[in-house]
Amino acid sequence: MVEENDHSSMEVINPATGEETESYEEDDWAEIDTALDRAVDTFEDWRQRSVREREQFLVDLADVIRDEKHHYAELMTREMGKPISQAIAEIEKCAWLCDHYASHAGTYLQEEQHPSPPGTSVKTVHDPLGPVLAVMPWNFPFWQALRFSVPYITAGNVGLLKHASNVPGCALAIEELYEKAGYPEGVFQTLVVGSDPVDDILADERIRAATLTGSGPAGRAVASKAGEQLKKTVLELGGSDPFVVLEDADLDAAVETGTRARNQNGGQSCIAAKRFIVVDDVYDEYIDRFTEEFEALTIGDPMDEETDVGPQARRDLMEGLHEQVIASVDAGATAITGGEPLDREGAYYPPTILADVPENCPASDEELFGPVAAVFRVADESAAIEMANDTQFGLGASVWTEDRDRGERVAREIDAGCVYVNQLVKSDPRVPFGGVKESGYGRELSGIGIKEFVNRKTVWVE
């Protein structure tokens, strides 16, 4: 447990320059304890508010987000290196999320009537659970935190965020967002803490549920500790998403979208396309054009709107990625382009394509969390499906064919939480999002997501 008055600090390193830009004092246990008490007290009032009233808060939250989107985008770029144009798009997506639930939360949470004997009334109501702890990653620092908090808070819960240690400024800015939108104090709180106190926070009786987006080991740790306390969890973990290109695909679109699906956010996304599975008939043309697109991307200062690929979020992460590339090449893979860190300040790794990737190497078996595409040649559709499913992960998948019926049939045969035909994998407020296998469980977003942390209470009136 974090000892009272034992303050340490989080240093923010700008990944584009390697320079320290800010330092934030971490919360000690006394401050965590106060935040937990505040969450419980606030919940007792917040849960009594009508859904319509909570929807109106979302309208105000969306306004605050839009009014200050450039400020928040620049903060994100300084802390984790996302190209500024993509950072602005992330902030705008957060506002859209608020718009969606402002319009549809009441419908999603409507009482459900059931058949019952004459003269009785039987229904299901959706009561909130209480304070929800969220352990969130740095790669989409605003979207991930809003994606959990907007639906859960609108359902009547209150949220506590333990964000990644390299984005404390973003974490505190999100708390500020809720304050500026007029939410009661304690509806959303940021805990500026590292990983050490998480187990104790999870075990605390004031926390009623938890959600995590992050690595498999982190997910297992949270699920294990929460399970000991019989607390509900939702986990969105890693992915090694297949991007399947069949012989009748629109290659223009498959090359353009595939390049974006692998390289946006510096390739640092659970749902980025990672394993490109291309049938033999179009493999040579695809990889030639794919390489041209990769090499045409602009690598540079993430504050420049012309930049396509900025730095990796941390130097140690870039070094780990490079180790995976080296191990894959040593095992027999061929680096068609890229494959070496750039000789410049900052944690820059170039868009990289690995071909001839053998079995049992990092590029085939592990998640490569950076701008590295592993390309595989397969004989036909059947082999493509088999390879797509030959992974411990099951988050998303993308299938490319001009035959929509064929695309849907193939999509049904791929083991993943979501499969997009002729589109990149994305999280969208209107549809459920989540994975299977080692990619986690539970769903976020849409009507299903807002009900993950409610008590589906049966009320029978005789």
Euclidean distance between CA atoms 182 and 54, whole angstroms? 11
Backbone angles phi, psi at 42, to 5 degrees: -65, -40
Residue 330 exposed, middle or buried by CB count within 10 Å (0-12, 13-18, 19+)? exposed
pLDDT of 96 over the 70 cut? yes
CA-CA-CA-CA dihedral for 352, 347, 213, 177, to nearest 10: -130
Measuring CA to CA, which residue among 66, 136, 144 is closest to residue 99?
A: 66
Between the CA of residue 175 and those of 119, 146, 182, 359, what are the distances in Å? Answer: 48, 10, 11, 45
Domain assignments of the chain as residue spans, ordered by start = 9-237+437-461, 241-421
**pLDDT at residue 2 in the model:** 39
Measuring CA to CA, which residue among 142, 23, 171 is closest to residue 82?
A: 142
SS3 (DSSP) at 321: helix
Same fold, 9-237+437-461 and 241-421: no
**pLDDT at residue 353 in the model:** 99
pLDDT of 125 over the 90 cut? yes
Please state the length of the chain.
462
- Can you tell me the mean pLDDT for 373-380? 98
270 is catalytic: yes
SS3 (DSSP) at 266: helix
Measuring CA to CA, which residue among 73, 18, 20, 19 is closest to residue 9?
A: 20
pLDDT, one tens digit per residue, over 130-186 is 999 999 999 999 999 999 999 999 999 999 999 999 999 999 999 999 999 999 999
Parallel, antiparallel, or unpaired for β 112-113 and 273-279? unpaired
Catalytic residue (one of 79, 90, 175, 236)? 236
236 is catalytic: yes
Q: Which fold has domain 241-421?
A: Aldehyde Dehydrogenase; Chain A, domain 2 (3.40.309)
The CATH number fitting domain 9-237+437-461, selected from 3.40.605.10, 3.20.20.70, 3.30.1330.200, 3.90.230.10: 3.40.605.10
Euclidean distance between CA atoms 239 and 236, whole angstroms? 9
SS3 (DSSP) at 104: helix
Which pLDDT band holds residue 33 (cuts at 50, 70, 90)? Answer: very high
pLDDT, one tens digit per residue, over 277-306 is 999 999 999 999 999 999 999 999 999 999
- Can you tell me the mean pLDDT for 193-220? 97
Catalytic residue (one of 270, 361, 381, 444)? 270
**pLDDT at residue 6 in the model:** 58
pLDDT of 5 over the 60 cut? no
